[in-house]
Structure 1
Amino acid sequence: MSGLRDRGNLLPAAKLALLVVGTLPFVPLQMLAVRRGWALSRRLPLVWHRVAARLLGVRITVRGAPAAERPLLICANHVSWLDIVVLAALMPVSFVAKSEVGTWPVFGTLARLQRSVFVDRQRRSATASQARDIAGRLGAGDAIVLFAEGTSSDGTLVLPFRSALVGAAHAALEAGDHPEVLVQPVAIAYTRIHGLPAGLAGRLEVSWTGEVDLVPHLLFVLRQASIDVSVLFGTPVVFGRGGDRKAVTLAAERAVRRMLAGEIAGHDISAETSDGASGPILKAAETG
């Protein structure tokens, strides 16, 4: 019995050690790929996140599919730092991250290697230039993930989406290279821990809000045998040149809220999700 207990105590350390060992060769290769602009810089993080998800015991269920067309801005709810591992394990993406993330030890480096776009949400004067940076990446064909709540939530409710950075989609249109941008709502729902329904208490434990320190939360995740998460890709909204960013943002927020609530309640939400092939069917409201 004591032997089993000892192995259980070592398990989080073993997971962390394997993750570190697997990351070491990735870092210099990804640095070189990013510096040289190789296509590998988009694919390599996908492999790393899939390995990380497996080591962390994160089991991902996908409902719907990401849109195949580009430019693509993904608007998702935000529950935990685990969201990054989950989404990046599904497809090549880059993230919009707050500027302070770039200063964090280890995680800041990983964010830069993920080719994240850093924004300063406290400086409203910088919003336009930041939107142009995101627009440039969208125009280059990158799928960009925006956690549109602007902060993390408890995994049960969706906070109001902020429209300012959704304006990046409009800036991409103004660049003149694309007649429209797709804005796809995505819901992330943590559903089970150790194979048992997470419930409100379990989702609160998985969530990483501003009051929770990163290291203890990382240790909590490492201690879990498995964490199940559903990723629901909603029907994309077509954001055309006459589109209203506030209307687009609200449509994405409502779609994410419906998908999250339906998944948590165990309802059939197939009508809300996209097959990724039939194309978007929602048009953004036009400005008057």
Structure 2
Amino acid sequence: MPVSPCGEGCLTPGAPTVARPRQLLRIGAACAVVLTALAASPLLALRRVREPLARLIFRSVLRAFGVRLLVHGGEEFRRAAPGRGALVVNNHISWLDIVAVNAVRPMRALAKREVGEWPVLGGLVARGGSIFLDRERLSTLPGTVGELAAALRGGSLVNVTPEGTTWCGLASGRFAPASFQAAIDGGVPVRPIALRYRLADGRETTQPAFIGPESLVDSLRRVARLRGLVLEVFVCEEIAPGKAADRRELAALAESAVHSALGTVHAPRRRLPVPVAA
């Protein structure tokens, strides 16, 4: 399993905060949104209202925490009619990532098994059609990839975070190739999305990152304290089926697109030499 070296030392200092009453108000508002979403979850079965309702729920979560969402590009992706499958991949920084992606366009997700066990939120994630991966039993990975490919082939958008764990944002991980095999098997494009968190004054911040051994509650509290948090989403051009020779090349293309959108540099991948027969 990928392990991020990011910890408390990665948190950028000097972020402005709100007063404690505002923090409590934000957490209360977020809880109200989640409870309302649970009550309205039967409506998600209705195709006509599913996407606009889900988008409203996720945007309401961002507003509850005082997060401003800025989306760059991807107009055709945001307004496309449902029914065309794609593997949507992004860099992974915070629990806010999945909220942001679904605020742009609601979709299913590949999530770790533990997420489905979260109180309240786990049930909501499961109702959203998530596919769960048991990271403790890698023998189940081929079956999960097969399930993912079937969902993509059936016309679903599925969000995957191929870094496998969260990073602080200033540092990042490699895109593991396993999930990209599902896009190849399903014959669907890959849509990279790049995420960045900054403050109202333009400074990039790592404060929203979900890092180290901290609990979800600790991360929620830190996000609720932030003043003027801006979440930028860059929707990159899709990578068409057949553009990559294999899943490793497809993962490298998606990873490169994310870094290009963010203006960051990642060391090139190292490939082992292929032995030449005598």
TM-score normalised by the chain length of structure 1: 0.77
Q: Which segments of 5 or more consecutive residues in structure 2 lack a partner in the other structure?
A: 1-17, 266-278
Q: Give the corresponding residue for 1:186.
A: 193
C-alpha distance in 2 between matches for 1:128 and 1:43: 33
Q: Structure 1: which 5+ residue stretches go unaligned?
A: 1-6, 174-180, 264-288
Rounded Cα–Cα distance in structure 1 between residues aligned with 2:128 and 2:47? 13
Q: Is the 1:156–1:260 Cα contact (8 Å) retained in structure 2?
A: no
Q: Distance in 1 between matches of 2:53 and 2:168?
A: 31
Q: Secondary structure at the match of 1:14?
A: helix
The answer to whether 1:104 aligns with 2:104 is no
More strand as a share of residues: 1
Distance 1:72 1:58, change over 3 A: same
One-letter amino acid of the structure 1 residue matched with residue 91 of structure 2: N
User: In the alignment, does 2:132 pair up with 1:132?
Assistant: no
Q: Which residue is equivalent to 1:52?
A: 61
Distance 1:98 1:75, change over 3 A: same
Tell me the secondary structure at the aligned position of residue 240 of structure 1: coil
Query: Which residue number in structure 1 is paired with residue 275 of structure 2?
Result: none
Matched residue, 1:178: none
**Separation (CA, whole Å) in 1 of partners of 2:33 and 2:258:** 34
Letter of the 1:55 counterpart = A
Residue 244, structure 1, aligned to residue 246, structure 2: yes
Q: Is 2:56 aligned against 1:12?
A: no
Q: State the secondary structure of the residue aligned to 1:74.
A: strand
Q: Distance in 2 between matches of 1:170 and 1:120?
A: 22
Alpha-carbon deviation of 1:80?
0.2
**1:251-270 → structure 2 map (5 Å cutoff):** 251-261=253-263
Q: Once the 2 structures are TM-superposed, how far is the Cα of residue 118 of structure 1 from its aligned partner?
A: 0.8
Q: Report percent identity of matched pairs.
A: 28
Distance 1:120 1:245 in 2: 21
1:228 Cα deviation (Å)?
A: 0.6
Q: Tell me, yes or no, if structure 1 residue 168 matches structure 2 residue 182.
A: yes
- Residues paired across the two proteins, number: 243
Shift of 1:166: 1.3
| RMSD of aligned Cα (Å) | 2.3
Deviations 1:139-186 (CA, angstroms, capped at 9, x unpaired): 23221111010111111233110111111112313xxxxxxx110111
| Residue matched to 1:157 | 171
Cα 1:112/1:39, change in 2 over 3 Å: farther
Residue 92 of structure 2 aligns to a residue whose secondary structure is coil
TM-superposed CA distance for 1:262, in Å, is 5.2
The aligned amino acid for 1:186 is I
Query: In the superposition, relative to structure 1, how do residues 188 and 242 fare at CA in structure 2: closer, same or farther (>3 Å)?
Result: closer
